[in-house]
Amino acid sequence: MNLEQEITASDAKSSGDMGSIYSRYCDDALFVSQVIEMAQRESLQKDATWLLKQHFENGHRIDEGQVTNIAKLLPDLTCWETKLHVLQCLPYITIPSTEKIGIERFLRTCLVDTNKFVRAWAYNGFYELALQYPEYMAETKHFFKLAMKDEAASVKARIRNILKKTNGA
């Protein structure tokens, strides 16, 4: 079996199964490229983005071309888990200047998503964007201020965590 076949055959609801799949394939030189390619298909997006997030959390990084390929996927992400996984990947990537506008658009869309976890991580995404592109910092702070008045408790908690680690951003 190959990576795609294992994902298709696995119980996608089990993080244990996905973790085992990740362990078997993560050291393959083509792993990231295969995962990004699979994320282009709606039926595999959630699992592919979970694998990508796991890869980052295990200390791996990707090159600019791979970031560009991920950025191209953003308008076509469908389910909230997929969006969440990609948002959770942002702290681990360097955003090329050629992709900052596309990522900004994605973040703005996610800020008004119906899912509170997606919204929470969209605020985090804006903060990550602002760290790399300081022209976004004033707007990010403004977003935080508004969110602390109107957002769900879980979103406020995410923002408080960001502010805590940055001493107020």
Element (H, E) at 80: helix 80-89
**pTM to 2 decimals?**
0.93
The residue to which tokens 């508004």 are assigned: 146
- Residue 71 is predicted with a pLDDT of 96
Model pLDDT for residues 47-93, shown as the tens digit of each residue? 999 999 999 999 999 999 999 999 999 999 989 999 999 999 999 99
Residues 134-144, mean pLDDT to the nearest whole number: 96
